[in-house]
Amino acid sequence: MANKVILAYSGGLDTSVSIKWIKENYNMDVIAVLIDCGQPDDLNEAYERANQNGAQKAYIIDAKKEFADDYISPSIKANLKYEKNYVLATALARPLIAKKLVEVAQKEKAEAIAHGCTAKGNDQVRFDVAIRSLNPGLKIIAPLREWKLTREEEIEYAHKHGIKITVTKKSPYSIDENLWGRSIECGILEDVWQEPPEDVYGWTKITKKPSASEYIEIGFENGVPVSLNSKLEKLQNLVKILNTLAGPYGIGRSDMVENRLIGIKSREIYEAPAAVVIIEAHRQLESLVLDRELLHYKYLLEEKMAEMVYYGLWFTPLMDCLKGFIEKSQENVSGTVKVKLSYKNFAVCGRKSEYSLYDLNLATYDSGDIFDPKHSESFIKVWGYPYELMGKKGRIKG
Ligand code: ARG
């Protein structure tokens, strides 16, 4: 009996060709695993194709709930964005996919895991590092790092071997999608001076009129969105609904040049309507309920955590500690945030919480003010002593 390899199968050209290529080059039986993280592809069709293309067996694993609860949820609590913009949709799904592949490998007593990542991207790092830490005994095969085929040659290889593929009209873009967002690169986008053509957008095709707008309310409990317009929703559904509400306004697009882990810069377009609205709403709720010291310190850890997700360091002791801190910080992050959606834009325009630290009697400039101005004078006196002293000694250069 041949050894088995578990292939992270998407149904696309690369992984379809990989089935045959692995059998030819490694003489192993291929078990194709489709992991559903909320991408809109037709997974049943891809499943059929895996079998037709020579996989010994195929699995579809529904990981949507786990993705929402264990990956998206902590990243909302931590307001995660890499280099200030990217909500990490692709990056967050990688450790989960790796975990599922390792589980299937154990069940199937496979000796290797294969994935379709190229040698230039971040995903190979995320997969390899996660797989090696979860099960150091598994071999990793990355056909696209080994073969020298161009896309045309891949298609030719597929035709020659009777591999069923769905490449009808050649999309110039490389696209990765899941519940949390859509990432688009390649083609004309590689010219960083070129404005992205409208056809790159899938989730944020604008169908609303420029004058259109609407208000929505997101309810949070312990840092996690639990309701939309007062209706309780599971996180995975709430995200899905919000994507369809905000997407048609063109909300959630971002165009960035980012620093990849392997040292090169790349241009990527992102669409994440629900993610950007939720993170901003969450951030504003935190501004209402968290004290200044916790809020400011948390910013530092958020940056670190985003970087670690991007770098593929999910299953690590530091990540566990960061998650622990973030979790604790969310004890009072419950309340409702009102957001106005409008043409290519959105804004938080109201917030309320039973844990609000906003005290109108202290903040107001109108009647009812209880703030004693003498306290300010004394506070500032003490606060400024060191610098007054330095000023007296001529040590402060203006
Ligand atoms: N640059 C993003 C990341 O490293 C997305 C990568 C996948 N993008 C794609 N268009 N296939 O997480």
Domain boundary among 120, 147, 170: 170
Task: Identify the CA nearest to 308 among candidates 61, 82, 41.
Answer: 82
Q: Which conformational region is residue 163 in: left (phi greater than 0), alpha (psi within -120 to 50 degrees), or beta?
A: beta
Domain-located, residue 327? yes
- Which tokens go with 353? 């919480």
The CATH number that applies at residue 134 is: 3.40.50.620
270 and 373 assigned to the same domain: no
* Rg (the chain; Cα; Å): 25
Q: Across the chain, which distance is largest between two alpha carbons, in Å? A: 86
The amino acid at 150: T
> The CATH number of the domain where 368 resides is what?
1.20.5
Asked whether residue 90 falls in the same domain as residue 155, the answer is yes
| Same structural domain, 188 and 164 | no
Residue 334 CA to residue 66 CA, distance in Å, equals 22
Are residues 32 and 149 both part of a single domain? yes
Q: Ligand 1: which of 183, 200, 201, 258 to mutate, most ligand atoms within 8 Å of CB?
A: 183
How far apart are the CA of 117 and the centre of ligand 1, in A?
Answer: 10
372 in the same domain as 345: no
In whole angstroms, give the CA distance from residue 36 to residue 240. Answer: 14
In angstroms, rounded to a whole number, what is the distance separating the alpha carbons of residues 110 and 107?
A: 8
> Do 278 and 337 belong to one domain?
yes
Q: Is residue 101 part of a domain?
A: yes
- Identity of residue 285: L
- Within 8 A by CB and 6+ apart from 262, the residues are 120, 121, 122, 125
Do 54 and 115 belong to one domain?
A: yes
User: Which residues have a catalytic role annotated?
Assistant: 14, 94, 123, 174
Report which ligand 1 atom has the smallest distance to the Cα of 183.
10
DSSP code of residue 230: T
Residues 202 and 127 in one domain: no
State whether the beta carbon of 177 lies less than 6 angstroms from ligand 1: no
Convert the pLDDT of each residue in 264-316 to its tens digit.
Answer: 999 999 999 999 999 999 999 999 999 999 999 999 999 999 999 999 999 99
Residues of the chain with pLDDT under 50: none
Q: Cα–Cα distance between 187 and 227 in angstroms, integer?
A: 39
Nearest to 7 by CA among 31, 39, 25: 31
Does 232 lie in the same domain as 147? no
Q: Report the nearest atom of ligand 1 relative to the CA of 91.
A: 12
Beta bridge partners of 306: none
Indicate whether 247 and 305 sit together in one domain: yes
Answer whether 185 contacts ligand 1 (Cβ < 6 A). Answer: yes
CB atoms within 10 A of CB 338: 16
The string of DSSP codes covering 46-66 is HHHHHHHTT-SEEEEEE-HHH
- What's the mean per-residue pLDDT of the chain? 96
- Pairwise CA distance, residues 129 & 375, whole Å: 55
Predicted local confidence at residue 167, as pLDDT: 62
Please tell me the distance between residue 176's alpha carbon and the centre of ligand 1 in angstroms: 7
Please check whether residue 285 lies inside any domain of the structure. Answer: yes
Q: Which domain holds residue 29?
A: 4-63+82-170
Domains identified in the chain, total number: 3
CA of 34 to the centre of ligand 1 (A): 18
pLDDT at 2: 82
